[in-house]
Chain A
Amino acid sequence: MPVKFFGQYLLEKGLILPRQLMQAVKYQAEKNLRFGQYAVAKGYLTEKDVEKIQNQQKSVDKRFGEIAQDLNILTRAQVEEILTMQKNDHKLLGRVLVKKELLTSEVVERELVLFKEDQSKYDLGDIVAPPGVRNPEIVREIVDLSHKMLQRMTNLNAKVKKGFISKDEPQRNFLLISIFLSGNLEYEYVLSMSNEISRLVTAAVLGSDTAGISRELISDGVKEFCNIVCGNIIARLSQKGRSVDISTPREIPFSDNGYNLVKGRNAIYYPIVSPKGDSALILIER
C-alpha cells in the first residue's frame, strides 16, 4: 500500500464520497489558520512581515517560525506559543467528518487504527544522514522510504550502506535515473541501478517478467519506479507540512568522459548492496 492521507484512504474504501471529502477539506481550510495568520491575530507580526517571510520561504528550506526568528521579528517563546495554539486548534479530518455527521465516531476510530497500521510499514528505520547535510531528517526519510519501496516492490534483499558526501561523479552503472525535487526542498534524486536490479524493478512496475523486452522499456520501468518512490516521498513530506514538487524522470547518459551529473556539487551517496548487483541512491544538493 502506498503512502496516503486519511481522506484518500476513506475515499478508496468507499466510506465517504468525493463531495463529502471536499466539504470536510473546505471546512478544515477555513478553520485551520496558518502560522502567519495566528501571528498577525496576536499582534506579533504585520501583514507585510508575513509577506516577507513567505517570499523567503520560496528560496530557503525553512519553516515560517524559523525564518521569523532568524529575522529577529519573533522570539523563540512566541514561535512556540503560536505552534501550541495551532496544534490545539487544529481540526483533524476525522473529527470534521464526525462533526459534519458524515461518519460516526466509531467508524472514524476504527478506520484510524487500520490506517495507522497500514502506514506503519513506512515508519522510519535506522538510516543515518552523514554529518553536515542539510535537512538530515528529511534525507533519512527519503533514503528509508526508497529502500523500503525497493524491497517491497521487488522482494529484493537489499541493504543500504552508510551514506557519505562526495563531489565525485558516480561509477558507471546500467541505468542512472534522475528526478528534481523542488519547493520546500531542493535536491536532485538519482537512482543508479545494475542491469539485474533494473530488470527486477521493471518487472515489478509492469506486473510481468522482462524476458525479451527492450532496453527502452526497462529504462521506462525504472523511470516509473523513481516516479512512484518520489511521489510517495512527497506524500510523506506533505504530511509533515513540506510542500515539494517532482519533475518527470530522465535518464542520465554515460559518455566517454563519464557522467556529467554532480558537476562539483555536494552529493550524498548511499550505496545499496544486494545479491543482484550494486545500486546507489544519490541526493545532490541544488
Chain B
Amino acid sequence: MNKKKVLLVDDSAATIHQMRKILEDSGMFEVVGHGKNGAEGVQLYTSLKPDIVCMDLMMPVMDGLQAIRTITSIDKSAKIVVVSSAAGVGDKTTEAIRFGAKNIIAKPLEAENVIEILNKL
C-alpha cells in the first residue's frame, strides 16, 4: 500500500514529535517534511507536493489561516486539516473552513481520532 505523504506545519517541536509518532506508527502515512510557520508551510507545500497538510493556526511569521488561504489559492484541491489547541473556538474553526480547510483536529491529540480524520480525506 502506498503511504500518504503528510506535511506538518507547527511551531511546536513537541507537537511535530507527537504527530510524527502517531502518523508513522499507523503505517499508513509518511511525514515528508515540517514547517515551523505558515510561510515555511507554503514553501514546503509547493516543493514537496504532499497529499495532506496538518496545519496549526497560531504561528509566528505567517499564521495558519493565511497559509491555508495561500495554499488553496495555489491548489484548490489541497487537503488541509487544522490541528490546533484553539480548534474549539467556533469562529476560528469556521474561518479555517471558509479558507479551505477540510476538517479540524483539536488538541490534546488522540491518535485514533487523528488517523480516522486523515483517512476520511
A contacts, CB < 8 Å to B: 1-5, 7-8, 11-12, 14, 18, 21-22, 25, 149, 153, 202, 204-208, 217, 220-221, 223-224, 227-232, 234-236, 238, 243, 246, 248
Residues of B within 8 A of A3 (CB): 88, 106
For the complex, count residues of B whose C-beta is within 8 A of A: 38
CA distance A106 to B81 in the complex (A): 29
Q: Give the distance to chain A from B109, nearest Cβ to Cβ, in Å.
A: 8
CA distance A217 to B13 in the complex (A): 7
Taking A205-B18, A217-B14 as contacts, is the C-beta distance between A12 and B58 under 8 angstroms? Answer: no
Q: Give the distance to chain A from B23, nearest Cβ to Cβ, in Å.
A: 11
B contacts, CB < 8 Å to A: 11-15, 17-18, 21-22, 58-60, 84-91, 93-94, 97-98, 101-111, 113, 117, 120
Tell whether, in the assembled complex, residue A4 and residue B87 are in contact, meaning their CB atoms are under 8 Å apart: yes
Tell whether, in the assembled complex, residue B89 and residue A238 are in contact, meaning their CB atoms are under 8 Å apart: yes
Tell whether, in the assembled complex, residue A205 and residue B93 are in contact, meaning their CB atoms are under 8 Å apart: no
- Which of the listed residues A12, A14, A22, A248 has the most CB atoms from chain B within 10 Å of its own CB? A12
CA distance A217 to B59 in the complex (A): 18
Tell whether, in the assembled complex, residue B12 and residue A220 are in contact, meaning their CB atoms are under 8 Å apart: yes
Closest-by-CB residue of B relative to A249 is: B12
Tell whether, in the assembled complex, residue A228 and residue B94 are in contact, meaning their CB atoms are under 8 Å apart: no
Q: Give the distance to chain A from B8, nearest Cβ to Cβ, in Å.
A: 14
Taking A5-B90, A21-B97, A205-B15 as contacts, is the C-beta distance between A248 and B60 under 8 angstroms? Answer: yes
Tell whether, in the assembled complex, residue B93 and residue A8 are in contact, meaning their CB atoms are under 8 Å apart: yes
Tell whether, in the assembled complex, residue B93 and residue A220 are in contact, meaning their CB atoms are under 8 Å apart: no
Tell whether, in the assembled complex, residue A8 and residue B58 are in contact, meaning their CB atoms are under 8 Å apart: no
Tell whether, in the assembled complex, residue B91 and residue A243 are in contact, meaning their CB atoms are under 8 Å apart: yes
Q: Give the distance to chain A from B80, nearest Cβ to Cβ, in Å.
A: 11
- Which of the listed residues A149, A207, A208, A229 has the most CB atoms from chain B within 10 Å of its own CB? A207
Tell whether, in the assembled complex, residue A22 and residue B94 are in contact, meaning their CB atoms are under 8 Å apart: yes
Q: Give the distance to chain A from B43, nearest Cβ to Cβ, in Å.
A: 21
CA distance A238 to B90 in the complex (A): 7
